[in-house]
Amino acid sequence: MAKVKLATVWLEACAGCHMSFLDIDDRILGLLEKVDIMYSPVVDAKEIPKVDIGVISGALGNDEEVHLAKKMREQCDILIAWGDCAVFGGINSMRNFMPAEEALKKAYVDTVSTVNPEGIIPGEDIPQLLPKAIPVDQVVKVDVYVPGCPPDADTILWVFQELLEGRIPKVPAEMMRYD
Amino acid sequence: MKEITLTIDGKVCKGSHGDTILTVARKNDIYIPTLCYLEGLTPIGSCRMCVVEVENNPKLLTACTTPAQDGMVVHTKTETLHNYRKQVLELLFAGRNHFCMYCSQSGDCELQRLAIEHGMDHVRYPFLYSDFENDATHPEYQVDHNRCILCLRCIRVCAEKVGAHTLDLKDRGWNAKVISDLGKKLGESDTCVSCGACAQVCPTGTITIREFAYRGRRSDCDDVVESVCPLCGVGCKIKAYVRTGSIVRVEGTTTDQPDGGQLCYRGRLELPRSTERDRVHVPMIREGVYYREATWEEALSLIAENFKTAKEADKAGALVSSICTDEELSVFSALFKDSLGMRRLDTFDGDILRGFRKGFEPFRQQGVRPFTAAHNILKSDCIVNLCADPDEEAPVVASYMRVAALRNEASLINVSSGKNPFEGITDVDIRLLSPCGDPCLLDSITKVITSLRMSEEDLGKGTEALNDYRNYLEKTAALVNMSVEEVEQVILKLANAKKPIFVLGSNVSKNPAVVQAGVNLAIASRAFFEDGIGIVPLVVSSNSLGTVNTVLAEEPWLGKEDLDFLYVFSTGMIPEDEESLSAISRTKFVVVQTPYLVHPLVNMADVLLPAPAWYERSGHFCTIEGERRRLNVVVPPKGEVKGLASVIQEFASALGVELGSPKAVPCEQLFGSEKAPETAQMVELEEVSL
Amino acid sequence: MGTVRKIEVNPITRIEGHGKITVHLDENGTVSEARFHVTQFRGFEAFTKGRDFREMPEITPRICGICPVSHHLASAKACDAILGVQITPTAHKLRELLHMGQFVQSHALSFFHLSSPDLLFGFDADPAIRNIVGVAAKFPEIATKGIMLRKFGQEIIKTLGGKKVHPWHSIPGGVNRSIKESERDSYLKEIPTMKGYVKDALELVKGYLQEHKDEVSTFAPMKTSYMGLVADGFLELYDGDIRLRGARGRIIDEFPDWAYADYIGEHVEPWSYLKFPFYRPLGYPNGSYRVGPLGRLNACDDISTPEASEELKLYRQAGEEGIVHDVLYYHYARLIEALYGVERIEQLLEDPDITGSDLRITSNELYPEGIGVIEAPRGTLIHHYKVDESGAITDVNLIVATGHNNFAMNKGVEAIAKAYIKGDDVPEGVMNRMEHLIRCYDPCLSCSTHAVGKMPLELSIVDNSGEILRKIYKD
């Protein structure tokens, strides 16, 4: 049987979901017998090949992330949203209550250790912030949702196993968490 | 009550007329999800989680507010209902900003549990991202409006159980917001009593106890122990959550209990904090300004040596805290009174208890119990606050009084010299000159009421009684500098009340005549409850009543003369008063046994012995809730901390005396009421004449 | 400006977010400058305003899911300072145990999962096998050791904090749970095995450094100052003074953590969301320094545990004037710290205080400011909060570990670009070297890139109007 092709990406997130994935520990070796991890994380939309399963962790917080989410959707058959950030927006959406400029000014001008007499705000050659950090499914259709901050390793593995068995999984109550 | 029968999910269920569908379902072990509903609070049907389908009714009905009717056919688990409930949950998440990932209530949150139960793996609606504030102005509690689902449990418990009416709702729809007073932040509120009832009932992480956040979810805890709060006479029932040997959370019981599951700020916050105080771990002997560690044998033999000399010179005494259990008090009594024949044994709050005992004694001799359970205030229609400051002395009693006055429409009469503790909700406020009450005033009111009753009952001396009535009315008015008409209004309130009740502050005990006059007035105004006369004495601690038959001295002795030996047992939970401390400081040899390094008490000690803390002991307390309540070991003692009984036993052996089995059984005698309260007769006051 | 063209490497890595590189060429086509951009901004300093300070140890770990424990602990320390308390010995040791669990897991991840493929297969090997999957196929024993060592650290974190990523354990004034005797015993049993795994890895890295002496000494060489926490001169990861040691071995400064703002400033560049910290008295960029395992082992005098101390002596033989500058020695330093971590776990578990129940102390007063500094696996981490009288956050400043190395990473990338790129000609291997340079510093998110699958790069050569002249892909 041909191996299932997988691509994962993280957008606006802390990487905790990918760490939780690694917490399946030695079971990853068994998984890799059935799955080819093509890109993780994907770097450029043009580079994403057609895959069977795409995974997005993280919210959408800047223009590049929106672009990547759309490309991922185009290139995969089944799209999984991993973690609270992808599913609900997560902790990133705490900045949604203030203008992006205010948040940037706080971080790059106002903090006590910053030495920035000219008041430079980064923005050159780097992606521009969206006014709000939003969940993935506000931009693209998501097929499987795995909430959690992060989801348990067992849950992440279970979702893959279900997909490998040809089922579209829905995380059951006993595995679901939001924290 | 008429029995009704309905079919719920195909099961034939019995209920009573007047039950809601939810009540019948719960009685029959059928689960219906709820969020805003809490047994004991007025159901409002606002969250719509408990919707059910009733055959032949096109609408979805809220089970918590819909009366069950005979023959109803109810469905609680249809697909329509599941989808509807899930939709409600998603809208709750979309409307506010819940941020489960760092919420201290995550895992304990009822909203989260229901969402997970309903398979909410995402939210189908766009998040509103409305900017709700996080109100962190109160030093103990945080109100994060981002997580509020407007279930109004907090508003209801604050009004219906605490009676503070601090919380209310502002605006409509998505923008509705729980506010304090008339739009203040919680920390700025004048009415909030900081009891934390709102935090206890909050189903989400909206109202949380700041300092105790993140100490572990309920499910993380190794144990939950039911026990009693020792900090005032009420002795509220508590649930203590234990995690790897530490108390991480203290809660009241549930809102359907007589006390509404309340605790005051002291019980909720001081009890868990008390587990973090500096402890006395091993026996210590003073050397100059320092202490050195010693063995129990060495410490006890030094104590015995000093005790014997002092005892022979009749200069030995023992002072124990009233936050000891009945069992502990009995052992103290057995050693000091029975085995050693010592007359100097007392408790720190002895003076207060002696005052109450003396005032109550003539009525106890009649075989009636001269007081009633504190929560009976909720059954009263006229409450007299006699020189009490319940918010300080017994905050839950203050809740009962506010709820009775504001919700049950009871009259509230305040009689005191200081500031009226119930300003704004009292019907009459009578100012006194003396802080400990005025027996003449009470006696005078008693006589007014008695004569009024006589005239009403017309026992052949109606006119004569009415003359007496006017006579005493005028005298009363003169005593308090009020008009006769005003005084008459007060008298009529009391005389017309069906179940008046009198709350006696501890100050009152300074003059036993006031206590006696208070009971007389209660009898005159027919303040009779099932368990005793309608008096609530605010004693100092959870087992103050238990000391009455055990360690309480007949007459005060502390400070009358300088002693050579004093054994002091302090639980370290209530600060010692200056007079006791000063008497202790003038004693030649002082043994202090205490769990904590309580200053300045430990500074007086020549020998310091460790003791188990409240959470390491067990036994019973006689509370003013009229119940003998059980204190349980929450966390077992560690190290060299020994139980009181075994220390006393060893002390007895060191002194070479036999410790007999304890004679006194404190509560039973105290709580027994041989005769119905209605049979109680007023007694003549000795020192009062009008 | 002589710059007419830029080469973009996009994205190269993710450091608590995304990163990419642009290489600027002058008219002659020679490299004038290379920039390592951090492209993600999340705004923690801004959006935590108004929260209760007690929530910060749960909010801030969400900055980074690879070393959440570091943020958790730095935050808890800042909160202790707000309460003005010194935590109990039991709480202190439990926090340190949690921290050591994280050091072991994070260093295991960095070495076994991420860096070992480069060392085992070489920089120029086929990317299809040059990853942990390839390691698992060809060197299954090494892969398994890495996975089990990481698991050991993660399990300790889970025992204390309930979960492996974003645990709940430390609270202002202490911790919320101690360790049970049964749990302690089960971890103690594993210590010898874990020490063995670390030592095997040490042999591997030492062998590599021996065999590739030339590559090591010419790989983006630079001599900088180094920063790390020390306690009485010993390596300290949880609580100590901040020491800055100069490139020639002189201790330039040593200051208490609460005084950091007098000594450390942060420079801002318009082209990166990551700021550039520097030692204030020397200004930017002269005051730039390096942190992390290499920085710490250079900053300290010695290590307090016996086996790691022995290893440190061997390690320092490679240095000049006692200072080891070569970037590839980060791997060696990291493993010495992992050994220290395992030894320290053993010491802590054998301490009777560790099962105590004096978990927290409290205070009635709040101080208006609190600073918490800790050594995260990747370097010195600083949390600084200000609160109002009721404890609501009014101001937050965070200097994250990776930030301190920002200047060094930029200069390293530039050195490689200058050495290998001439005009449009981008030879094979240059991108691998850039990646590996970044990976030496172990900035958080580069990890998974390498952990599973390849890390394709795109270089864009763009003119000064922003138009793309040519793109080069590596896959």
* Judgement on whether residues B142 and B194 belong to the same structural domain of the protein: yes
Task: Compute the 3-state secondary structure of chain A and give helix, strand, coil in percent, each to the nearest 5.
Answer: 40, 25, 35
pTM of the model: 0.92
Asked if the structure places residue B688 within a domain, the reply is: no
Q: Is the dihedral of CA B501, B507, B510, B514 positive or negative?
A: negative
B491 and B394 co-located in one domain:
yes
C-beta of residue B195 within 8 angstroms of C-beta of residue B269: no
Please provide residue A118's backbone torsions phi and psi, each rounded to the nearest 5 degrees: -85, -5
B102 with C177: Cβ contact below 8 A: no
B484 within a domain of the structure (yes/no): yes
pLDDT confidence band for C13 (50 / 70 / 90):
very low
CA separation for the pair B104, C228 (Å, rounded): 33
Pairing of strands B382-386, B500-504: parallel
**Domain identity same for B303 and B324:** yes
Structure tokens belonging to residue B548: 């009455």
Q: What is the pLDDT of residue B36?
A: 96
Same domain, B612 and B552: yes
pLDDT number for residue B460: 54
Task: Please confirm whether the linkage preceding B600 is cis (ω < 30° from 0).
Answer: yes
Q: Over pLDDT 70: what percentage of chain B? A: 97
Dihedrals phi, psi of B179, to nearest 5 degrees? -125, 165
Q: Which region among B162-166, B500-504, C169-173, C326-330 has the lowest average model confidence (pLDDT)?
A: C326-330
Percent of chain C with pLDDT over 90: 57
Q: What residues contact C399, with CB distance under 8 A and at least 6 apart?
A: A113, C260, C264, C266, C275, C277, C380, C381, C382
Find chain C residues with C-beta within 8 A of B243's C-beta: 176-177
Residue B32's identity, in one-letter code, is: I
Confidence category of residue B657, pLDDT binned at 50, 70, 90: confident
Q: What is the pLDDT of residue C40?
A: 62
Last residue of a domain, one of B517, B541, B565: B541
Do the Cβ atoms of A179 and B102 come within 8 Å?
A: yes
Q: Which of B129, B219, B220 to mutate against chain A (most A CBs within 10 Å)? A: B129
- Show the beta-strand stretches assigned E in chain A: 4-10, 35-39, 51-57, 60-62, 76-82, 114-115, 129-134, 144-146
Tell me if B631 is assigned to some domain.
no
Phi, psi torsion values for B556, nearest 5 degrees: -65, 140
The residue out of B516, B541, B566 marking a domain boundary is B541
Bridge partners of residue A129, in order along the sequence: A62
Confidence of residue C41 (pLDDT cuts 50, 70, 90): low
In B301-366, DSSP assigns E strands to 316-320, 345-347
Cβ within 8 Å, pair A104-C43: yes
**Is B244's Cβ below 8 Å from some Cβ in C?**
yes
CA dihedral B175, B178, B182, B186 (to 10 degrees): -130
For residue B14, what pLDDT is reported?
A: 95
Q: What is the pLDDT of residues C160-176, one digit of tens each?
A: 999 999 999 999 999 99
Q: Which residue in C has a C-alpha nearest to residue B137's C-alpha? A: C390
Residue C169: DSSP 8-state: -
Task: Return the structure tokens found at B23.
Answer: 């009540």
Give dist(CA C322, CA C332) in Å, integer. 15
Q: What angle is formed at CA B391 by the lines to CA B390 and CA B393, rounded to 5 degrees?
A: 55
Note whether B134 contacts C57, CB cutoff 8 Å.
Answer: no
Could you tell me whether strands B528-529 and B532-533 are parallel, antiparallel, or unpaired per DSSP bridges? antiparallel
Give the CA distances from residue B353 to residues B233, B359, B518, B537, B556, in Å, rounded to whole numbers and listed in that order.
12, 10, 16, 10, 11
Chain C residue whose CA is closest to A100: C43
> Do B425 and B412 meet the contact criterion of CB atoms below 8 Å apart?
yes
Contact flag B122-A135 (C-beta cutoff 8 Å): yes
CATH of the domain at B502: 3.40.228.10
Residue B476 lies in a domain: yes
- Can you tell me the mean pLDDT for C299-310? 97
pLDDT at residue C218, rounded to an integer: 83
Using CB atoms, which residue from C55, C57, C359 is nearest to B246?
C359
B139 lies within 8 A of chain C by CB: yes
Residue in this structure with the two tokens 């001081």, named with its chain if needed = B270
Which pLDDT value is given to residue B690?
Answer: 46
**CATH architecture assigned to A4-93+133-175:** 3-Layer(aba) Sandwich (3.40)
pLDDT surpasses 80 at C6: no
Residue B244 to residue C180, Cβ atoms within 8 A: yes
Chain B 194-213, residues with CB within 8 Å of chain C CB atoms = 210-211, 213
pLDDT for residue C459 is more than 80? no
Contact present, C15 and C64 (Cβ < 8 Å)? no
Q: Which two tokens stand for residue C451?
A: 């952990």
How confident is the model at residue B482, as a pLDDT?
A: 84
Residues B261 and B239 in one domain: yes
Q: Residue C455 to residues A5, A32, B689, C14, C117: CA-CA distances in angstroms?
A: 16, 18, 101, 11, 13
Question: For B49-94, what is each residue's pLDDT tens digit?
Answer: 999 999 999 999 999 999 999 999 999 999 999 999 999 999 999 9
Residue entry with tokens 């027919």: B526
Give the burial class of B505: count Cβ atoms within 10 A of its Cβ; 0-12 exposed, 13-18 middle, 19 or more buried. Answer: buried
| β-bridge partners, B607 | B285, B591
Residue C16 has pLDDT above 70, yes or no: no
Residue C393 has pLDDT above 50, yes or no: yes
For B515-541, what is each residue's pLDDT tens digit? Answer: 999 999 999 999 999 999 999 999 999
pLDDT > 60? residue C68 = yes
- Cα distances from B571 to residues B319, B598, B600, in angstroms, run 12, 9, 14
Q: Give dist(CA B159, CA B398) in Å, integer.
A: 13
Going B438 to B442 to B443 to B445, the CA torsion angle's sign is positive
**How many angstroms separate the CA of residue B363 from the nearest CA in chain C?**
46
Residues B51 and B167: beta-carbon distance below 8 Å: no
Residues from chain A contacting residue C62 (CB–CB below 8 Å): 14, 16, 90-91, 149
Same domain, B188 and B237: yes
pLDDT at A43 over 60: no
Does residue B119 sit within a domain?
A: no
Q: Which domain holds residue B214?
A: 102-111+124-274
Is residue B62 domain-shared with residue B133, that is, in the same domain? Answer: no
Instruction: Quote the DSSP letter at residue B124.
Output: S
**Quick one: B385 and B264 in the same domain?**
no
Looking at the fold, whether B515 and B395 belong to one and the same domain comes out as yes
Q: In whole angstroms, what is the distance from residue C76 CA to residue B247 CA?
A: 20
- Write the CATH number for B152: 3.30.70.20
Same domain flag for B564 and B462:
no
Mean pLDDT over the full length of chain A? 89
- State which of B274, B300, B330 marks the end of a domain: B274
Phi, psi angles (nearest 5°) of residue C113: -75, -35
Closest-CA distance, C168 to chain B, in angstroms, reads: 7
pLDDT of residue B651: 86
**Nearest Cα residue in chain B from C168:** B214
Residue B536 in domain: yes
Distance of alpha carbon B576 from alpha carbon B45, whole angstroms? 50
Cβ–Cβ < 8 Å for B235, B629: yes
Closest residue by Cα to residue C462 from C13, C40, C10: C10
Q: Which is it for strands C379-387 and B246-251: parallel, antiparallel or unpaired? A: unpaired
* B530 and B560, same domain (yes or no): no
In this predicted structure, what is the pLDDT of residue B458? Answer: 58
The answer on B378 and B260 residing in a single domain is no
The CA distances from residue C290 to B663, C163, C315, C330, C405, in Å, are 77, 32, 18, 11, 5
Distance from CA of A59 to the nearest CA of C (A): 11
Q: How many domains does chain B have?
A: 4
B483 vs B345: which has the higher pLDDT:
B345
Chains in contact with chain B (at least 3 beta-carbon pairs closer than 8 A): A, C
Which residue of chain B is at minimal alpha-carbon distance from A148? B101
Q: Give the nearest partner residue to B121 out of A90, A94, A170, using CB atoms.
A: A170
Which residue from A69, A74, A67 is spatially nearest to A50, judged by alpha carbons? A74
Task: Round to whole Å and give the CA distance between B1 and C33.
Answer: 89
The answer to which of A3-17, B290-304, C158-172, C188-202 has the lowest mean pLDDT is A3-17
DSSP reduced 3-state for B61: strand
| C183 near B CB under 8 A | no
Nearest to B593 by CA among B402, B355, B244, B318: B318
- Could you tell me which chain B residue has the CA closest to the CA of A133? B129
Residue B400 lies in a domain: yes
Question: Which residue shows structure tokens 């901004």?
Answer: C41
Tell me, yes or no, whether B89 lies in a domain: no
Q: What is the pLDDT of residue C36?
A: 72
- The pLDDT tens digits of the residues spanning C176-213 come to 999 999 999 999 999 999 999 999 999 999 999 999 88
| Chain A residues in contact with C395 (beta carbon < 8 A) | 111-112
- Give the span between the Cα atoms of C100 and C308, in whole angstroms: 14
Q: Alpha-carbon distance B113 to B119, whole Å?
A: 10
Size of interface A-C (CB pairs under 8 A): 213
Each residue of B101-126: pLDDT tens digit? 999 999 999 999 999 999 999 999 99
What's the pLDDT score for residue B312? 92
Q: Which two tokens stand for residue B546?
A: 């238990």
Name every residue whose Cβ is closer than 8 Å to that of residue B75 and which is 6 or more positions away in sequence. Answer: B8, B9, B52, B53, B54, B55, B81
Across the range B230-240, mean pLDDT stands at 95
Question: From CA C319, how far away is CA C298, in angstroms rounded?
Answer: 9
Q: Which amino acid is at B537?
A: P
The set of residues, in sequence order, having a beta carbon less than 8 Å from that of C55 and lying 6+ positions away, is B102, B104, B213, B214
Nearest-angstrom CA–CA distance, B121 and A143? 11
Give the DSSP letter string of B156-203: HHHHHTS----EEEESSGGG-EEEETTTB-GGG-SS-----HHHHH-S
Asked if residues C451 and C114 have their Cβ atoms less than 8 Å apart, the reply is yes
Question: DSSP class of residue B509?
Answer: G
* Best residue of B129, B147, B210 to probe chain C, by most C CBs closer than 10 Å: B210
